[in-house]
């Protein structure tokens, strides 16, 4: 079937407006579309990490419509069904509009002054009694760049606590660790232009049609125009919209992508298909330690802090240099026949995919997202895909490159780039590095001793510490961890233990997380405040505040600054007469100037439509990094230089296949994997309040194979109980349709709080990146 880009997007919209009935609090999109706008202003979309540009239609102080911005290079005027729903996410009838304090089993309204005074009091008391390690903040890839930078400065430069995490730890930390370990710097070297220039696309565990539909539409348009284009989909189950247009679909068993990628490298090296000149000039070879653990236990040697801060022991990979011949010998194990036995992908298909990738006449783009990153060996599998591009020299040039897609609008710009994780400082700096702490202290104008040298708790361990009582106070902002964390029942129960624990939640709508809060702070959202996001291709975009938030809701930046004042740290955000947003951004960009992370001045982003991709030097963006002629940091004559590494060479890693942390057995015979659907986003707190989206998919189902359904005596539409060693949920069965799963595997989306599938998932994680694995655990199914 040949679909144009607009036909594909039209089909996604149609899919989102068919289905059952919705809830009374939802307002139809059609009614909004009929309201004429008085004026239009630019903004990036509030949903995924694609960074689509929208024009926001305003009338009488309300957002009444949106349309795709034809001047934005990301989407060129197109939007998916979630993008078209943006006006509706602002106006659900159950918005939080006043601060609420827990009283018994309910909440009572209080003033903002009382709420902020109480928050400051709880922080001060915890720090006085137990030190700065006893307080924490958990923010989001949906926070703005201003907010991410400000909370980082407050926590690390003000309070001396590195216990700052963001929910991107759950979605892209393995990509970060992979980029750093291979290239010495974070984020993709390529950009979305590659979607129009490649002629072979390798989708690794990525359901792009549903999770990044506008970007997938660019691939579809290219395939429609050029019959040479090939799409290879490597998945653990198939999705109709992504896989029907694919030329090759390779279904592999969970966690065996490691063996599959090594087998592709085996074919490329064995058959002499690698680019010898590129490898000899631009790559080195290394191996790390193996059998590194899974982080399942709090006391895991490699993966977590043992109870008690003083016993903290960071993971160290202990890399060793090896030769190309050593690497060749390592690959000897990974014959296509061996990989076929492990993964289930036929050896002939493995060879076909490897040869297609290595074909020197083709430009290749690899794309992945949570299927790779939410993986107990997520860093390793990222490394292995980079190996393929480095071996063939297909990297850092138009149409050739690996590309890690992100799921949130500013996971890159806010969390990765501003350093809002427990081990980072802004601009790619690390708290453990004395010179980096010195630089941060100089820019922040604080004593260097105030910035703690040890990384704080990563996300899973942060909530384990809250459960144990090591963390006394936590501020959760713009995220819903008690629905989105794996093994969520443990962590929600831990937050409810009371005692010295105090949980502050800044939120827009009621959620599983607000249910356990001691204090709820009502937040402004999207165009109710000024903001900046940074998308997957290093593109930074700005928008102005356009409408007032409802009631007493406040933007999160103001909450941060007001708390800082009450903590005696108001000077951190004192910039004289200069506007706060501009002053914060101009201070923040100092971290990257001259360091290949250059951002343009604030005023440039205010004016430009569609944003700019960093590094921005002399107001010119960079499309391809590390390549002469495109990257201003690669000097004439250097050709390709991976300047994040001291020797300018990228690392090809020998990373072995290792099994998942938990696998099916006689008691729990099914694999469970989780993910998203087109119509909903993350935990559904926004999309479930849009009538059309809710009507299309009113609840989460469990997809299972027809053979398994027959064996269980279950028909489509009947209820199934899903049980793991950690918890159980009940969901309606689906057989086929948009998803087709192989025998022995089940798939459940995580957007539905009534089918809270993360009660069942396992909180194992990658010991290097500390990212949990939501894609693999063992469950039992029974007819409910």
How crowded is the C-beta side of 107, counted as CA atoms within 13 Å? 20
Q: Of these residues, 48, 208, 370, 546, which one is catalytic?
A: 370
| CA 580 from centroid of its chain's CA atoms | 28
Convert 498-538 into a string of H (helix), E (strand) and C (coil).
CCCCEEEEEECCCCCCHHHCCEEEEECCHHHCCEEEECCCC
Catalytic residue flag (residue 370):
yes
Handedness of CA 236, 239, 244, 245 (dihedral sign): negative
Q: Of these residues, 172, 264, 532, 686, which one is catalytic?
A: 172
Query: Of 677, 755, 700, which is closest to residue 207 (Cα–Cα)?
Result: 677
194 by DSSP, 3-state: which?
helix
Place of tokens 């937040």: 523
Helices in 275-377 by DSSP H: which ranges? 276-282, 324-331, 336-343, 347-358, 370-373
Helix, strand, coil tally for the chain in percent (to 5): 35, 20, 45
C-beta atoms surrounding 445 within 10 Å: 10
Non-local CB neighbours of 113 within 8 Å, separated by 6+ positions: none
Give the pair of three-digit tokens for residue 755: 């089918």
Strand partners, 365: 201, 401
Catalytic residue flag (residue 462):
no
Walk across the sheet containing 53-59 and list its strands: 39-44, 53-59, 62-68
With vertex at residue 488, the alpha carbon angle to CA 725 and CA 709, rounded to the nearest 5 degrees, is 50
Non-local CB neighbours of 205 within 8 Å, separated by 6+ positions: 234, 235, 236, 257, 368, 369, 370, 371, 372, 775
Catalytic residue flag (residue 172):
yes
Do the beta carbons of residue 392 and residue 357 sit within 8 Å?
yes
d(CA 489, CA 70): 45
Place of tokens 């902002």: 477
Convert 378-426 into a string of H (helix), E (strand) and C (coil).
HHHHHHHHHHHHHHHCCCCECCEEEEECCCCCCHHHHHHCCCCCCCEEH
Catalytic residue flag (residue 45):
no
Non-local CB neighbours of 618 within 8 Å, separated by 6+ positions: 632
Non-local CB neighbours of 279 within 8 Å, separated by 6+ positions: 324, 390, 391, 393, 652
Q: Of these residues, 83, 141, 407, 675, which one is catalytic?
A: 407
Residues belonging to the chain? 784
Place of tokens 């933007």: 555
Q: Of these residues, 42, 45, 82, 462, which one is catalytic?
A: 82
Q: Of these residues, 48, 72, 171, 686, which one is catalytic?
A: 171
| CA 183 from centroid of its chain's CA atoms | 20
103 by DSSP, 3-state: which?
strand
Query: Of 166, 116, 108, which is closest to residue 521 (Cα–Cα)?
Result: 116
d(CA 732, CA 781): 12
Catalytic residue flag (residue 407):
yes
Q: Which DSSP string do the residues of 255-284 spell out, in sequence order? A: TTHHHHHHHHHHHHHHTT-S-HHHHHHHEE
Q: Of these residues, 235, 349, 374, 408, which one is catalytic?
A: 408
Burial 723-739 (b: 16+ CB within 10 A, else e): bbebbebebbbbbeebb
Give the pair of three-digit tokens for residue 687: 């999309």
Say if residue 630 is exposed, middle or buried (CB neighbours under 10 Å; 0-12, 13-18, 19+).
middle
Return the active site residues: 82, 171-172, 370, 407-408
């Amino acid at each position: 079937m040949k679909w144009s880009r607009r036909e594909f997007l039209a089909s996604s919209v149609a899919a989102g407006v068919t289905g059952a009935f919705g809830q009374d609090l939802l307002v139809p999109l059609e009614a909004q579309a009929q309201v004429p706008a008085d004026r239009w202003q630019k903004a990036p979309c509030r949903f995924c990490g694609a960074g689509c540009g929208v024009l926001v239609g305003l009338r009488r102080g309300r957002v009444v419509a949106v349309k795709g911005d034809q001047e934005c290079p990301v989407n060129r005027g197109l939007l998916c069904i979630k993008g078209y729903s943006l006006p509706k996410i602002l106006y659900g009838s159950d918005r939080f509009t006043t601060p609420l304090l827990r009283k018994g089993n309910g909440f009572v309204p209080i003033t903002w002054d009382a709420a902020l005074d109480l928050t400051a009091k709880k922080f001060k008391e915890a720090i006085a009694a137990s030190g700065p390690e006893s307080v924490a903040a958990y923010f989001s890839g949906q926070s703005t760049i201003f907010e991410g930078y400000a909370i980082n400065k407050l926590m690390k430069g003000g309070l001396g606590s590195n216990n700052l995490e963001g929910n991107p730890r759950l979605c892209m930390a393995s990509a970060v660790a992979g980029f750093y370990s291979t290239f010495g710097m974070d984020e993709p070297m390529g950009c979305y232009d590659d979607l129009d220039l490649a002629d072979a696309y390798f989708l690794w565990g990525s359901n792009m049609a549903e999770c990044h539909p506008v970007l997938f539409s660019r691939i579809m348009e290219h395939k429609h125009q050029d019959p040479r284009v090939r799409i290879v989909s490597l998945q653990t189950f198939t999705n109709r919209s992504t896989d029907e247009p694919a030329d090759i679909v390779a279904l592999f068993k969970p966690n065996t992508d490691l063996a599959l990628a090594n087998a592709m490298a085996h074919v490329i090296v064995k058959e002499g298909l690698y680019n010898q000149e590129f490898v000899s000039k631009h790559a080195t070879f290394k191996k790390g330690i193996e059998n590194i653990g899974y982080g399942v236990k709090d006391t895991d040697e490699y993966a977590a802090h043992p109870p008690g801060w003083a016993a903290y022991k960071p993971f160290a990979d202990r890399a060793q240099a090896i030769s190309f011949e050593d690497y060749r010998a390592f690959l000897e194990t990974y014959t296509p026949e061996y990989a076929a036995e492990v993964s289930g992908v036929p050896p002939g298909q493995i060879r076909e995919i490897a040869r297609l990738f290595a074909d020197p006449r083709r430009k290749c783009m690899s794309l992945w997202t949570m299927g790779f990153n939410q993986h107990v060996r997520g860093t390793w599998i990222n490394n292995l895909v980079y190996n393929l591009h480095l071996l063939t020299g297909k990297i850092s040039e138009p149409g050739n490159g690996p590309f890690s897609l992100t799921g949130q609008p500013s996971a890159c710009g806010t969390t990765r780039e501003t350093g809002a994780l427990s081990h980072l400082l802004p601009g790619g700096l690390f708290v453990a590095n004395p010179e980096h702490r010195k630089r941060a202290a100089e820019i922040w104008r604080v004593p260097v001793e105030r910035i703690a040298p040890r990384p704080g708790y990563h996300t899973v361990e942060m909530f384990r510490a809250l459960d144990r009582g090591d963390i006394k106070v936590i501020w959760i902002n713009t995220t819903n961890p008690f629905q989105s964390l794996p093994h969520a029942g443990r962590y929600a129960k831990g937050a409810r233990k009371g005692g010295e624990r105090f949980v502050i939640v800044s939120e827009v709508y009621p959620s599983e997380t607000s249910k356990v809060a001691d204090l709820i702070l009502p937040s402004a959202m999207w165009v109710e405040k000024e903001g900046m996001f940074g998308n997957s291709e290093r593109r930074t975009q700005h928008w102005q505040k356009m409408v007032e938030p409802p009631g007493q809701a406040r933007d999160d930046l103001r909450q941060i600054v007001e708390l800082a004042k009450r903590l005696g740290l108001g000077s951190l955000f004192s910039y004289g007469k200069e506007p706060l947003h501009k002053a914060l951004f101009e201070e923040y960009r100092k971290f990257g100037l001259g360091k290949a992370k250059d951002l343009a001045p604030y005023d440039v982003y205010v004016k430009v439509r569609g944003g700019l991709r960093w590094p921005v030097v002399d107001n010119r963006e960079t499309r391809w990094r590390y390549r002469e002629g495109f990257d201003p940091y690669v000097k004439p004559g250097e050709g390709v230089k991976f300047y994040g590494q001291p020797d300018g060479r990228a690392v090809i890693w020998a990373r072995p296949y290792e099994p998942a942390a938990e696998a099916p057995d006689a008691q729990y015979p099914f694999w469970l994997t989780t993910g998203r659907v087109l119509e909903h986003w993350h935990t559904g707190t926004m999309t479930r309040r849009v009538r059309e989206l809710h009507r299309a998919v009113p609840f989460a189902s469990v997809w299972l194979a027809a053979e398994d359904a027959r064996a269980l005596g279950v028909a489509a539409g009947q209820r199934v109980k899903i049980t793991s060693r950690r918890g159980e949920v009940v969901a309606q069965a689906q057989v086929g349709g948009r998803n087709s799963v192989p025998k022995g595997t089940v798939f459940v989306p995580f957007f539905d709080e009534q089918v809270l599938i993360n009660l069942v998932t396992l909180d194992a994680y990658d010991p290097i990146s500390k990212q949990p694995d939501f894609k693999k655990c063992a469950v039992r199914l029974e007819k409910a």
